Every structure is written in C-alpha cells, then in structure tokens.
Amino acid sequence: MPGRTKQKYPVSIPELSETEIKLLIEALQTDTAQNIFTQNAKTYGEHTYTAIRSLPPSLRAMIGIHLIPTPAFFNTAALCNVHKGLNKYIISQFIRMIKREVKGHLDSLTEYTWEPLEPYLNDVICTLRSLAGMWCSPFSSGGSICPKNPVPYQANKCEACMISRILMDQKCVQYLRATVLSRIRTTYDYRVPKLRRVTDTIIRTYDQEQQQEIIMFSSKAAFDLKRARKEAHCIRTGHLRGDFKDKHEYLSQPRTSPNCRAVSSITVDFCMI
C-alpha cells in the first residue's frame, strides 16, 4: 500500500488556499480599534487567543518547526503573547509584502513624476507610506527613515498586531488594493502580485456596500496610478516623450516627496500584552 501523503507545512502565502487566507484574516480581525478602548486587554487577548486556537494546523505555530529545514529567505515574524500561536512564516511574508508595497513600489511615483499627481493620488501615497511608522522607530539610529506624519509606532514590535491595525482601516485596504492593481501588467503572460489574493479576500470580509465602495474607488485609483507608473518608467529609463527641454529641466530639479499630512485613521497601538 502506498504510504500516506503528509501535508506540507506552509511557509509562504502562495501555499495557502483561499479558505485558509480568509480564516487567517478573520482571526486577525477579531476586534475593532474602537472596541479596544472599551474593553480590557485581558478580554481582548482571550478573544484573539480563542480565534487563533480554532485555526487549522497550517495557520498555527507548529512545535518543532525549527527542526524542519527551510530556505534561508523564509523569515519568521516577531509575535506578541496574544499572536504567538500563529504561523510565523506566513505572518512574516504577509508584513514583508505590505512593506514592499508601501515603500519600494511607490518610490518611482514620487521620484520620477513629470506632471503633479492628482491630490487624491497623493492622499493614497501618503496614507500608505505613513504605515511605515508602525515598524520604523522614531528613536532608531539606523538607516531607516520614518515617513512624514507616520501612524503610531508598534511598541511591542508584533507584526501580527501591525497587520491587524491595517485590516481594521477600510481606507488602507482600498489603497493597498489600488496600488497592487496598478502594478498588474496588461500583457498576456503577467504574474499577479501575491498581495492581490490577500486584498481581494480581505474585501470579501466586508459587507456588500463596503465591498462596492472599495472596489469602485480602488479600480479608479489603480487606473490613474498605472498611468503615472508608465510615465515614471519612461522618465526613469530615459525614454522621454514630448517637450524634452522642459522635462530635462524638470528632472534636474531636486526631487521631493508629496506634502503629506496625517490621513490614516490607524491611531491605536494595541496588543501590548
């Protein structure tokens, strides 16, 4: 008789099914930022702990997983006492995808723009960049530079707490979906960003009216961001179009980031247990 096939312990988001992603998101959405103010930390911790315990084994921390050889690039997440029961590999990749989205993938939009972006697109960029305040310590002496008007720092450094704060903010969710969609190529053989599956699953956890609002706004924003990305790509690679003299003069000027203001409603630094 053939041996029983053992299910592989997932260490990356692409290995998860749609159902598993949905269950993980729901476990991280066990409460709202408003309710955290009205109930004590012990009650919140018990609620979240129960939700994590009900997750399938693939999403929970596995005893002895450190004994299983995994590639070096699969990092483990820093988790607090409440979230320590989660799969550290999945949470680590989740937050790393968000970090890349709000930093590296947005840089070209502000460094190589020809025409000023529409005000609402600046709002999108500033809101997403402000999320870096969660993992960028204002007292850090390292090379990381905190964004203007950042959201409050996550003092316990729990990456699951950071993800929970983002999931609670509808504006951040629709902005993330917009920037992810704007990176999808229109050619036939394109690779869908990994975060696309996650953002679409997050949206399905909202009610019907909120889903329509998020999809309509993010689709429009994605179209405008994609146009800005194409223009930025042309400028960055030297394939300038139109009036070359004016564009060269523009590019020779010092580049500055948008005049950001505090736009995100993420103001809660919770899970300090």
More confident residue, 188 or 96: 96
What band does 176 get if pLDDT is binned at 50, 70 and 90?
A: very high
Number of separate domains in the chain:
1
pLDDT at 74: 67
Instruction: Name the average pLDDT for the chain.
Output: 76
Contact call for residues 187 and 55 (beta carbons, < 8 A): no
pLDDT at 159 over 90: yes
Asked whether residue 110 is assigned to any structural domain, the reply reads yes
pTM above the 0.85 mark?
no
Contact call for residues 255 and 110 (beta carbons, < 8 A): yes
Burial status of residue 190 (CB atoms within 10 A of its CB: 0-12, 13-18, 19 or more): exposed
Asked whether residue 200 is assigned to any structural domain, the reply reads yes
Tell me: the pLDDT tens digits for 63-105? Answer: 655 545 455 456 888 898 889 999 999 999 999 999 988 887 7
User: Domain span at residue 100?
Assistant: 13-251
Asked whether residue 29 is assigned to any structural domain, the reply reads yes
pLDDT at 271 over 70: no
More confident residue, 17 or 235: 17
More confident residue, 226 or 255: 226
Which range of 36-45, 134-143, 204-213 scores highest in mean pLDDT? It is: 204-213
Burial status of residue 139 (CB atoms within 10 A of its CB: 0-12, 13-18, 19 or more): exposed
Tell me: the pLDDT tens digits for 243-254? Answer: 444 555 555 554
Angstrom distances, CA of residue 59 to CA of 25, 85, 124, 180 = 11, 9, 31, 24
Average pLDDT over residues 54-64: 84
Asked whether residue 260 is assigned to any structural domain, the reply reads no
pLDDT at 55: 92
Burial status of residue 159 (CB atoms within 10 A of its CB: 0-12, 13-18, 19 or more): buried
pLDDT at 73: 54
Asked whether residue 17 is assigned to any structural domain, the reply reads yes
Asked whether residue 266 is assigned to any structural domain, the reply reads no
pLDDT at 272 over 50: no
Cα–Cα distance, 99 to 72 (Å, whole number): 19
Asked whether residue 269 is assigned to any structural domain, the reply reads no
pLDDT at 264 over 70: no
Cα–Cα distance, 99 to 30 (Å, whole number): 23
Listed in sequence order, the DSSP H helices in 54-158 are 88-102, 104-111, 119-130
pLDDT at 253: 52
Angstrom distances, CA of residue 108 to CA of 67, 191, 234 = 41, 20, 11
Asked whether residue 123 is assigned to any structural domain, the reply reads yes
pLDDT at 210 over 60: yes
The residue count for the chain: 273
Return the percentage of the chain with pLDDT > 90, whole number: 21
